[in-house]
Amino acid sequence: MHWYNYIACFFAGTFLTNVVPHFVHGISGDRFPTPFAHPPGKGLSSPTVNVVWALANLVVGYILFRVGKVSSGDDTGIVIFFAGIVAISILSSVNFAKKQAR
């Protein structure tokens, strides 16, 4: 695989992981931060905006998953895909823990 396939693997993991909180909050009818809130990423967006944002992340993540050839059997690609999942998961948990502490 080329170097750009590995970058696509990493970002496929981040985008696909980002689907989960936005989709769950959206279909549950809860408000949750999105880049479209005021201030971006800190204010709360409507459930509908969260569902749309989740679906946009799903489309981009799927495209990157295909470009990254994650399922091609290359173990390095899979490891990098999971590294993207770990990275966004830890960053999100730290970010939202600070928000809850306020």
Domain ranges across the chain: 3-76
DSSP conformation class of 36:
T
Q: Which among 22, 9, 83, 10 has a CA at the least distance from the CA of 57?
A: 22
Record the pTM.
0.88
User: What does the angle CA 40 – CA 56 – CA 30 come to, to the nearest 5 degrees?
Assistant: 60
Q: Which among 24, 4, 8, 31 has a CA at the least distance from the CA of 84?
A: 8
Summarize pLDDT for 45-67 with one digit per residue, the tens.
Answer: 999 999 999 999 999 999 999 99
pLDDT in tens for each of the 102 residues of the chain?
A: 899 999 999 999 999 999 999 999 999 999 999 999 998 878 899 999 999 999 999 999 999 999 998 888 889 999 999 999 999 999 999 988 876 555
